[in-house]
Structure 1
Amino acid sequence: MGNSKSSALSKELLEDLKLNTRYSEHELCAWYKTFLKECPTGRITREKFESIYATFFPDANPKAYAQHVFRSFDSNSDGTLDFKEYIVALHLTSSGKTMQKLQWAFVLYDVDGNGTISKNEIQEIVKSIFNMISKEDQKNLRHDENTPEKRTDKIWDFFGKKQNDKISEGEFIQGVTDNKEILRLIQFDKPQKVQDRLKEKKLSFHTSVTDFNWTIEWLKI
């Protein structure tokens, strides 16, 4: 009993989520019921999150990227996602406003959470993205961006930064807004195999709450 949560969503949390997401009371209650069925403790662990990501990438290694995405959603840094964090993440990635998505993208790339992005941090995220691309698919990438180092250099050059400079949140958002090429470079280009799996697992209210395909298509603006 002590390890399970109440099946009823608190009125306070319900009102908070209705105010800050596009979901109705009926939808939120339905999500909560399914959430508790699959996560009786009321929390999704990082390991669970990583294991679901792995189902989309049998030919690659998505662990590092999954960890970064999880970190960006884990707002209180307790190593788990509670229902509120889950719903906010779902709302943001599936129907959030452009500015909200860009703010989240900044958090994703700001690995150490100090409010700025370094070139090394960009390379860390880009490298984790490359780990999700099979060696076969990597052969089809453009020559000037077919390694993490090349893509990082290209992104950094677009921002006009020197080697040891930093990018603020404002600069990041402005740069991505002004230059669609930067937007393309900081995202994950899904190989056909992954696209097929996403189609098979199209997120709906009949889908498992732990089908995290929405976290893979996070910055379509």
Structure 2
Amino acid sequence: MLPLTYWLFLREDSVEDDFELSTVCHRPESMDKLEEQTKFTKKELQVLYRGFKNECPCGVVNEENFKTIYSQFFPQGDSSMYAHFLFEAFDTNKNGSVSFEDFVFGLSIILRGTINDRLNWAFNLYDLNKDGCITKEEMFDIMKSIYDMMGKYTYPTMQDDIPREHVESFFQKMDRNKDGVVTIEEFIESCKKDENIMQSMQLFDNVI
């Protein structure tokens, strides 16, 4: 449902345990404050920060760098469009950059949030124009970006109409009142009734 949203920041690196940036462009909140605001422990935040600092020494990541980092996980395909959608979901204040705080707040929801929290975050990812509903074109853009990202694992065996077929299946299941759009209420209700979706979301529990 949300492929590899925690990217490479979960890896351990042999860097210092301090919470300082060698090149300070953005100084994060204190560990204590972030621990209060997220569902991570201080040790987990330190692990996350090591990876973030390693990839983003200035303390923030812009969209192009985000795409470059994300592409390392999917060298077999083109992850740029999906990374664009994901970047916009993490960039909650819409300033064109993702700080460590932005990253851990989003990650806290994805990995440790309630089912409703996670589903709301996923809905926001799919609702590309942020108008409160998901259209077939928005879902198609998301599906297409995922297939492009998977690259050789789906092409050339995948036919061009497969993403569209998945969108039709999605809407048949979730568009309860058949008005051509999926609202947050329809999305959450349908996901909670789908055993596969619920199981996939539980895979992220305690991943760090």
TM-score calculated relative to the size of structure 2:
0.72
Letter in 2 for 1:152: V
Q: Is the 8 A contact 1:118 1:164 kept in 2?
A: no
- Post-superposition CA distance 1:26-74 (Å, at most 9, x none): 4435544653454232101111111122112222111111111111111
1:200 matched residue in structure 2:
none
Query: Which structure would you say has the larger RCO, counting Cα contacts within 8 Å and 6 or more residues apart?
Result: 1
- Post-superposition CA distance 1:96-155 (Å, at most 9, x none): 3322211111001100011111111111111111112235535667x9x97111100111
1:177 aligns with 2:185: no
1:46 matched residue in structure 2:
63
Q: CA RMSD in A?
A: 3.2
The SS at the match of 2:134 is strand
1:206 matched residue in structure 2:
none
TM-score calculated relative to the size of structure 1:
0.69
Q: Is the 8 A contact 2:60 2:98 kept in 1?
A: yes
The SS at the match of 2:182 is strand
Q: 1:165 aligns with which of 173, 180, 190?
A: 180
1:153 aligns with 2:153: no
Q: 1:94 aligns with which of 106, 111, 125?
A: 111
The SS at the match of 1:4 is coil
**1:55-74 alignment to 2 at 5 Å?**
55-74=72-91
Unaligned runs of 5+ in 1: 185-216
Displacement of 1:22 after TM fit?
2.6
Letter in 2 for 1:45: N
Percent sequence identity over aligned pairs: 26
Q: Is the 8 A contact 1:74 1:81 kept in 2?
A: yes
Q: Is the 8 A contact 2:128 2:138 kept in 1?
A: yes
**How many positions carry a matched residue from both structures?**
182
Unaligned runs of 5+ in 2: 1-20
Q: Is the 8 A contact 2:81 2:145 kept in 1?
A: yes
